[in-house]
Chain A
Amino acid sequence: MSVRELEREQSPKQAGLGPVGWLRWAWRTLTSMKTALILLFLLALGSVPGSLIPQRGVDPDKVARLYDESPALAEWYDRLQLFEVFSSTWFAAVYLLLFTSLIGCIIPRTMTYLRELRRRPPAAPKNVTKLPHAAVIEGGPSLEEAAKRLRGLRFRVVTGDGWISAEKGYLRETGNLFFHIALIGILFAIGAGSLYGYRGNVLVVEGDGFANTVAAYDRFMPGSQVSAESLEPFTLHLDDFTVSYQVAGEKRGQALDYTAHLKVNDRPDAPARDVELKVNTPLEIDGTQTYLIGNGYAPVFRVTDGKGQVAFEGPVPCLIEDKATMTSGCVVKAPDAQPSQLGFLLRFLPTSVPLTDGNHASAFPGELNPEVQLLGAFSGDLGLRNGQPQSVYELAPPETLKKLKPLLMGTAVPKPLAVGQSVELPEGAGKLEFTGVKQWMTLQVAYDPGRLPALLFAGLAVVSIAASLLIRRRRVFVRVKGETVEVGGLTRTEGSAAGFAEEFADIVKVLSAGENDVR
């Protein structure tokens, strides 16, 4: 029989740990400080790929590009959920384990803390002058007087036969405990926010409006507990959108201010009120925040078809191709055109200037000389009726595009159009008119019931971590031996001996002061 077997034989408890024993072991391991720290580290480590690999929720275009460039790698990223790290199963697992671990370690620490709160400072040691900080006062105060003065310094004081023991700095533990509680609170508030909150994006063109319903959003991201009826029933109308730009100097063309002039009805029966929406000042309606997050141009077009009828008329929001000059790409689709549908690819130049090679480009982001450049005109079935959803920023999916008939392309396209100008399509297929310029804005609407609790807990975390790190726990002992008063002090907080030396000197000064000098 080997030693090990012998041991096993002799410790039946260990052999039969049993399910309860294992559970207890697992719980104890999970809630140990070490595990919590490892989990915290994992959370930090896990968020690294989230910052280096493009995320679907943040930058879907980059994700798509990665799929194009290295499909195998993208496949693996996808398998490991690296395109949505922060909503991945493994990230959630770490997060939930950390959560449990924190709760598990706070409960026993609270108990210890409460016991500690009621505990009195320990009796003074025999020889207080042996302590790291010590002083002897000749002709010092009486025991009662010394105790009184220490209480005056807000020490917790215990007296005994010829000695005083005083302690201060309990807020350190209080701070520490509250810091850890605040961390749980923050995690909790974030969780609540993502369950009961929602976010949505919508693009609104000047002259148009938006009603806060699920259907009105371009993109709607609800928490799992959000119902369509729970959305705050407000509506808004975009009267006018103004942007001001720096016009001179090195920063010429930089945006200085965006303002959306809105009419807002807080609820269907409420009167409309004027609101100026700006960056950094969201519109708040009953806890629902509306933010201005983007803007661009929406030139207005009229398409007349081969039969002379207006097949399309209205503003077309364009995608920004170059932020510095607001050069934008636009798509006009006229599926109602007869005899065949029409589609146009265009480029919008807010401040068009001719280049030496005969091309045109935008020189400034503001609309000083707006022109539209026709890049291509097509006829044929745009594929809008086959039930497949299509992007408004894309003329047609590539396979449909190939089947379209180009009417105008390449060198055949005319000079850019100014407002009021038009271009006739060949073969009497129709006409495209550029009739005006509007702007669009994108809004983000967010409802997050966890934001206020998160803020409160975050505030608590800051205050309590400061208390926990900056307050030192210190003890002062006094032994009165007739006329001689011995004072000793120590701090158990590392790194603060230097600071305590000064405080200790002050305490000794207070203790050694004459009856009448004290405060």
Chain B
Amino acid sequence: MTPTKDTVGTAVREILETDLKFAGMDLPDDLAMVGDGLMLDSLDVLMLITAIEKRFGHKIPKGKLGAKSMPNIGGFIEFVYLELQSASSGS
């Protein structure tokens, strides 16, 4: 079953708070992730993606990852949600 966008959002925020140590920070949808806002570096991004892949049992193709896939937290949640939907429909 494809997770809902809320489920994905909860997972992304949990990973940011626990694995990436952003607990106690406001994590609104419009907060930038790379270059500004959270200022994630390449190791943070690897940890985030790996944790998401483990959580949902789906490997995100490398070619799909990039600046466009994580413009901000809301955009990244949307990207992961659509990726999981696409995977479950087999397209």
Partners in one complex: no
